[in-house]
Amino acid sequence: MINDLLAKTVSVESALLSDLPKKDRLIQASQRLSGLELNKLDTGTRKKLDRNLIDGNRVLSQYKIETYDDYAKISDPHLDELINMMKRICSDLHKFILAR
């Protein structure tokens, strides 16, 4: 489980640090984070991730996102906020992994 989680986390970080446009980095990182089994994380890490995901959903709720093209509607400051949220998630996952 730890190896899979580490691989997923590194993959998400790779997407976030790529040279792609911000909206594409966000889409790729979100896709790579998909399927994360929160129930396998400790309570503290799970709560941190939940808070970050709630913050991300708060930002996304301001936009009508139905297709990948709709991500182009997200303002640059909101894209930065969402990318930073994903980076915080990765940081929390790394801390969880290192504690094991």
Q: pLDDT value at position 45?
A: 96
DSSP 14-48: HHHTSSS-HHHHHHHHHHHHTT--GGGS-HHHHHH
Question: Which helix or strand (DSSP H or E) is residue 49 part of?
Answer: helix 43-60
State the Cα–Cα distance between residues 56 and 20, nearest whole angstrom: 20
| pLDDT tens, position by position, 30-64 | 999 999 988 889 999 999 999 999 999 999 999 99
pTM: 0.92
Closest C-alpha among 12, 10, 37 to residue 25: 12
State the Cα–Cα distance between residues 73 and 63, nearest whole angstrom: 7
